[in-house]
Structure 1
């Protein structure tokens, strides 16, 4: 069944994205100066659930070359920053997301992909190939993976065990390769990789998270079952969310660290399927919030936002174990010389990052599931206008969200994640 039309704001293609510009970049990418663009059109490329952190445009092109006069067709995706002082851009600029992602696509991902292919002997793609990085225009052009029949999973149905295991296997390869790259090239992640959603440099995301938590609190006021048990805890959390978040993501001396994706949910990975409709590969996209931290933050984010409820609430420890064994296997193949934690230590590290599941569960996941009529955007989340308040209140209004909260709140509470920390 087709999903409802998204209510997220759609931005037009940037004015500088002309045929001449694309032709020049395509010539460089394909190493063919004879290439001539015969046709080009652009349209917004918005993944299911929207994209809060950038403007996405799909380019469809037809071209000829000296060796092949017949027209060839291909498509690319262009990722650019928000323009004209969009409130989202005003917030995201504090996190260095644009320069970091350009660094990642230009230099980090090609190295990681090469390591996985050559040293893990895994020929499957891990990321989309980068066509061009333009720092003057804060833009990235990369291959459109839909041409190879990759697609995003349904954010509402979420992932079953088969899809989950595949993502965890590929995530372990990504994390292992990044840790080894840092070992081989000391300092490669020292600059601009310390600004995840929680960090010591900025709290620009704070109003978004606390405004939505306040909306959750308002919804609990009229909930006779959950309100008496959890409203006071949510009210206290509004004041301390950013403190707890920063504390829970501060790296400790004995932590195993890597380049965490940082925003790992269904819209940010894609699956390729075999003839029997089983997933045979998964790739990762969107690295704006990648951060040097524990891989546990990726696991919490992934489990919270992307797994079917039975897996999330009843099988987390088993899934952590599955990921851990894949990680260790990859590290050993890479001949990693650092300390590999025991499974017991890694499970403790996972629990120590548990607060990451709180904001994902109570703020991000309800927004990701939003199907209301109001425009869903960062601007709405920070606005106290009538429309902004309606949006935030409507996030927690659906019966399916209330039903989910009746499971999520006790689940978080049993670990002490809603108490004073």
Structure 2
């Protein structure tokens, strides 16, 4: 990624604004901001759906003569002229995430602490939700030594088990919250990457699949076996995707994270380097759906290949028993599927693994020099085509497709469904 490909901080993020929000957060009107430092928290391409800015503050108050320091993160939308802004707005992602941080996560966090007796954090604390500016200000967890694992190396079994444990907790408390507060997820929680309302991502999916097809020209065996299937998939990706995300009678449903991959999880470690906690971040695509969509997405994008190719059923089993344990502690009264039925539910959502593996994962693992953005996925320009081709021409992606395509094909997921 080019080093100068960074998003500028929003113009409204001024000293006056930050001082006002800090006074509100700390409940101290005497607080005075002495210094404000603003730096980008992510480069372009590190996050395809938002802009992250880190702010460093020095402040004082009447109760403390010593200068205090703190760091926070500000999450904002793209500029109005960015092609991503309109696309993401159609999916309701900004309103939804503000709702989640303001209205949902406080309930879920309390249930985890009080009823599951787990004192570990599950989310970052919210400082302020600003709906006028479509922004969220929250604590910077890097100060507690939380960090993101390497998206290229992916997660080993120890990290994977911890994420599945925390994901099971998240799904359980979301399901119980819906039971206790009927209708809480009825509005704006039905627009994931595939849904019945909007197809804004369709040209991106098609453009990237076409780039994948072009890349197969360089491998005679893969071309003969899979290029025709990928070409047919271009015209069917949205129909199959919507079918895989449809809610079926009898399904166990919960609040799914919707975008669970390596960089949307942060880990805390002990002195020996073992992960002791994992928190979930970035809830823009959270939806009321089957937990299986999170599992497929996570397995396809974030765990080491050996775990994915050889151990998926037992990882689903590990997750399932953690889910059931939490649901029982929370006294969930609706039917809990047995493991056999839950594995069937996982299989019924299997097409989610196709778009995750063939479209999203290559972009997530991108290390090339072209600008990586939603705009580049949409654009018919030479630059857009060059970016998409470079995604699939990378050696590590070409090597991965040798295993990914047969893995998906053995389940019939590349045939007409």
Decide: shared fold, TM above 0.5. yes
Deviation readout 1:41-86 (Å, 9 max, x if unpaired)? 1011117960110111101001111111111111110011111321
8 Å Cα contact 2:260/2:297 also seen in 1: yes
Which of 163, 179, 184 aligns to 1:183? It is: 179
Q: Is the 8 A contact 2:45 2:371 kept in 1?
A: no
The match for 2:283 is: 287
Match for residue 95 of structure 1? 91
CA contact (8 A) 1:7 1:376 kept: no
1:216-257 Cα shifts (integer Å, max 9, x gaps): 011112321100000000000000000000011100110000
CA contact (8 A) 1:159 1:308 kept: yes
Tell me which stretches of 4 or more aligned residues in structure 1 moved more than 6 Å: none
How many Å separate the matches in 2 of 1:8 and 1:393?
A: 22
Equivalent residues in 2 for 1:17-28, closer than 5 Å: 17-28=13-24
Contact 2:7 2:43 in 1 (8 A): no
Q: Aligned to 1:373, which of 369, 373, 376?
A: 369
Deviation at 1:399, TM superposition (A): 1.9
Alignment check: 8 A CA contact 1:9 1:376 kept: no
Residue 67 (1) aligns with residue 63 (2): yes
- The partner residue of 2:333 within 331, 337, 344 is 337
| 2:9 aligned partner | 13
Provide the secondary structure at the position in 2 that maps to 1:157. Answer: coil
Are the counterparts in 2 of residues 6 and 49 from structure 1 also a CA contact under 8 Å?
no
The match for 2:198 is 202
3-state secondary structure, aligned to 1:280: strand
Q: Distance in 2 between matches of 1:146 and 1:225?
A: 46
Task: After TM superposition, give the deviation of residue 151 of structure 1 in Å.
Answer: 0.1
Q: Contact 1:8/1:375 (CA < 8 Å) preserved in 2?
A: no
Aligned-pair distance for 1:400?
Answer: 1.6
Match of 1:246 in 2: 242
Alpha-carbon deviations, 1:86-123, whole Å to 9, x = none? 10112111100000000000110111011001100000
Q: Tell me if 1:406 matches 2:402.
A: yes
The Cα shift of 1:191 comes to 0.1
Aligned pair in 2 of structure 1 residues 48, 331: CA closer, same or farther (>3 Å)?
farther
2:122 matched to which residue of 1?
Answer: 126
CA shift in 2, pair 1:47/1:170, >3 Å? farther
* Aligned ranges 1:316-327 → 2 under 5 Å: 316-327=312-323
CA distance, structure 1, for counterparts of residue 40 and residue 123 of structure 2: 21
Q: Note the residue ranges of structure 2 that are not aligned, 5 or more in a row.
A: none
Of the three residues 161, 164, 175, the one matched with 1:168 is 164
The superposition leaves residues 271-303 of structure 1 with CA deviations (integer Å, 9 ceiling, x where unpaired) of 000111100000000000000000000000100
Q: Secondary structure at the match of 1:150?
A: coil
2:268/2:275 contact within 8 Å kept: yes
1:302 equivalent in structure 2:
298
Relative to structure 2, which stretch is displaced further, 331-340 or 391-400? 391-400
Distance 2:96 2:4 in 1: 25
Contact 1:8/1:49 (CA < 8 Å) preserved in 2?
A: no
The answer as to whether partners of 1:198 and 1:245 remain within 8 angstroms in 2 is yes
Determine the structure 1 residue equivalent to 2:354: 358
Provide the C-alpha distance between the structure 2 equivalents of 1:339 and 1:328, rounded to a whole number of angstroms: 11
**SS of corresponding position for 2:58:** strand
Distance 1:311 1:418 in 2: 22
**46-55 vs 260-269, greater mean Cα deviation:** 46-55
Q: For residue 57 of structure 1, what is the aligned residue in structure 2?
A: 53
TM-score, length basis structure 2: 0.99
TM-score, normalisation: structure 1: 0.98
TM-superposed CA distance for 1:6, in Å, is: 5.7
- RMSD over aligned Cα atoms: 1.1
Matched position secondary structure for 2:272: coil
Cα distance, 1:378 vs. partner?
0.7
Report the 3-state secondary structure (helix = DSSP H, G, I; strand = E; otherwise coil) of the residue aligned with 2:66: coil
Structure 1 Cα separation of the partners of residues 3 and 315 of structure 2: 34
Deviation at 1:7, TM superposition (A): 6.6
Partner of 2:382 in structure 1?
386
Indicate the larger mover: 184-193 or 364-373. 364-373
CA distance in structure 2 between the partners assigned to 1:333 and 1:7 by the alignment: 48
